[in-house]
Structure formats: structure tokens, C-alpha cells
Structure 1
Amino acid sequence: LIATDIGRPIRHVASNLKYDNMIRDLEKVLQYLTPVETEVQTDEGRWFNMRIIPYRTRDTF
């Protein structure tokens, strides 16, 4: 993410990841508050572990 991405919908953020299910997994984490972990590949062929975890503040209860 870069500074100009702040406040933008996640669907509008460019990514170099080959991760077709990212939006679905993000929505699942928000709905069920359970982490999702998967391996993702970059456009350059490098592999990473992706972990999406719920984050809540007192204002979001």
C-alpha cells in the first residue's frame, strides 16, 4: 500500500499478487472475524505466505 491508497476501496488498489480470491477472503475475515492464511505468488514468480487477520477497535464493536 502507498499513501494515496488510504481511504480507497480495496478493489481499487493495484496489486502485483496472483490472488484471485483476495476480495472473497477479506470479506470472510470481516464477516466471521477469523484469520485466513494462504500462499500467494507475485507477478515476478516469488512466493509469500499471506495472512489476513481481523482488526477491531473499541469504535468498531
Structure 2
Amino acid sequence: MFVVLLMLAHLMRHISPNSGWKERLEQLLEKYPSVPLMGMGFTENWNAHPVWTGKG
């Protein structure tokens, strides 16, 4: 799942750079901390990934 979300983040940055999609997803994940992120391929510091931050 995480790889798919990285691809979506990359595409959204190019298609709709002013979208709040990433921020809304981060808020959703914060709202439900019991969601097993590691089981979906998220790394420990997933939100620092270069593609996620826009630096990669």
C-alpha cells in the first residue's frame, strides 16, 4: 500500500500541486493510530521519505 501511496503523492505533486491530499491522508492516519502501517509496507519514518516530502 505504501508504494502505491508514494506513486500517488508523486503524481499529485505534478497534476495538482496545491492539493491537500497528502495532508489529509496524514491526518487520517493520525486519527486512527491502531491501523497497522508496517503491515501495509510503511517504513518507520515513512513521512520523511524523499518522494513523500517532494525532494525525490
Q: Fold-level match, TM-score > 0.5?
A: no
Greater RCO (Cα-Cα under 8 Å, separation 6 or more): 2
The structure having more radius of gyration, on CA atoms, is 1
Please give the TM-score of this superposition, normalised by the length of structure 1. 0.31
Structure having the higher helix fraction is 2
Structure having the higher strand fraction is 1
